[in-house]
Amino acid sequence: MIESGGKSLNKVEAARPETVARPLRVLVVAASLDILGGQAVEARRILRGMLDEPSVELSFLPVNPRLPGVLRGLQRIKYVRTVVTSLMYWALLLARAPRYDVLHIFSPSYFSFLLAPTPAVLAARLYGKKVVLNYHSGEAEDHLAHWRTAIPVLRLADVIVTPSNYLVDVFARFGLSARAVPYSIETDRFRFRERKPLRPLFLSNRNHEPLYNVGCILRAFALIQRSLPEARLVVVGDGSQHAELERLARELNLSHTEFVGRVGPEEMHAYYDAADVFLNASNIDNMPISILEAFAAGTPVVTTNAGGIPYIVTDGENGLMVECGNCDALARSALRLFEEDGLASKIACKAHEQSRRYAWAAVRDGWLKVYREATVGGEARQEVSMQEAGRGEEKAVS
């Protein structure tokens, strides 16, 4: 399987005919789907999308490898699992990195940046390999400002890639050149339909962690139910706040509210299709795949303006947007969709049109260009100019 272990794509690679020019060998270093999140999902999509591309051969190294046999039980023990998983990852990294031309390293922030991307960058430099550092965290500004190791490690990359121009702008403020290649979404999985009539069926799909502020969605929904008592809310996701959020729902006396837990990416399209409004209340964010998926499904989006969200959502055009933490405003904006005739259809159709730029066919060439740039040579490191990096995502993937 692509998302587990280090043996991905071997059968496909073996089946390819020999060519005069050897394909570029790329090792994708990222979390597996054992850690369900945007980075794991995007890594898998890149691996799958490149299967039939003759100019590159991609393989996968999880930063969270499963220990073999009875040792796997150690990964269920808090703190111990961090140590044993890291040791296993570092060993696999040192063993496998020499076989590749480029390491495509997915990067979170803070302590996770030290545990996973930093060793991968250093291993690549040890073996003289090229580095594509794919930075995803919406917490980038604070990370770069307060962690002394962040900028020196980032400067070791041949190319820095972010999913959005929001992070391109953040990196520029710290003197780092980056380019944007947006997330891809499997648009063929999503059935676009206009919500006519619009039903009060709401969906939340974010991990249950403080930065995503799912509690604000519950508080907003309590206000929505005052006007629409029949309204329903499906809450997808899991995380450290899951039990706390369920308690909050009970305290708010919410009816018609269902917590469905973790849902895999292959199943999420059904939840978007069943919903008529998508709610997001994150306080810190970059380029949420959940919003892009709602765009593809035609599910109208009501969201806060955290981080990079204003780079993909324009209030009143392809979504409705409010200030972070303002649960009242989130509820009022959601209710507007039911009060203003045609508003939901207008923003959903515009969003669906925009979603085409995130289809794999549009994103693929951006990654091929990045891999070529990374291998030009040391003198061309991060050769993409700040002017080019600041262009829109459509140009960045062209």
Residue 197 has pLDDT above 80, yes or no: yes
Domain ranges in the chain with CATH number 3.40.50.2000: 10-184+359-396, 187-357
Q: What is the pLDDT of residues 335-380, one digit of tens each?
A: 999 999 999 999 999 999 999 999 998 899 999 999 998 987 543 4
Residue 390 has pLDDT above 60, yes or no: no
CA nearest to 201, candidates 270, 281, 249: 270
| pLDDT score of 21 | 73
* Segment (H or E) for 244: helix 242-251
Which structure tokens are listed for 155? 């400067």
Long-range contacts formed by 1-4: CB under 8 A, 24+ apart: 2/44, 2/47, 2/48, 2/60, 3/32, 3/33, 3/40, 3/43, 3/44, 3/60, 3/62, 4/32, 4/33, 4/34, 4/62, 4/66
Contact 204, 303 (CB under 8 A): no
Which structure tokens are listed for 169? 């702008």
* Segment (H or E) for 264: none
Q: What percent of the chain has pLDDT over 90?
A: 77
| pLDDT score of 69 | 79
| Exposure on the CB side of residue 44, measured as CA atoms within 13 A | 21
| pLDDT score of 377 | 52
| pLDDT score of 36 | 66
Residue 47 has pLDDT above 70, yes or no: yes
Buried b (16+ CB within 10 A) or exposed e, 83-106: ebbbebbbebbeebbeebbbbbbb
Model confidence band, residue 9 (pLDDT cutoffs 50, 70, 90): very low
Contact 312, 304 (CB under 8 A): no
Model confidence band, residue 17 (pLDDT cutoffs 50, 70, 90): very low
When comparing pLDDT for 33 and 90, which is higher? 90
Is it true that the peptide bond before 197 is cis, omega within 30 degrees of 0? yes
CATH 1.20.200.10, domain 10-184+359-396, yes or no = no
The residues, any chain, with a CB within 8 Å of residue 204's CB and separated by 6 or more, are 214, 217, 233, 234, 235, 236, 237, 278, 279, 280
Which structure tokens are listed for 219? 């508080």
Q: What is the pLDDT of residues 169-194, one digit of tens each?
A: 999 999 999 999 999 988 889 999 99
Residue 4 has pLDDT above 70, yes or no: no
Residue 320 has pLDDT above 90, yes or no: yes
Q: What is the pLDDT of residues 245-304, one digit of tens each?
A: 999 999 999 999 999 999 988 899 999 999 999 999 999 999 999 999 999 999 999 999
Q: Which CATH number describes the domain made up of 187-357? A: 3.40.50.2000
Pairing relation of β-strands 102-107 and 56-62? Answer: unpaired
Tokens 């270093």 sit on residue: 29
Contact 328, 303 (CB under 8 A): no
Residue 127 has pLDDT above 60, yes or no: yes
Q: What is the pLDDT of residues 60-117, one digit of tens each?
A: 999 999 888 777 777 778 778 788 888 999 999 999 999 999 999 999 999 999 999 9
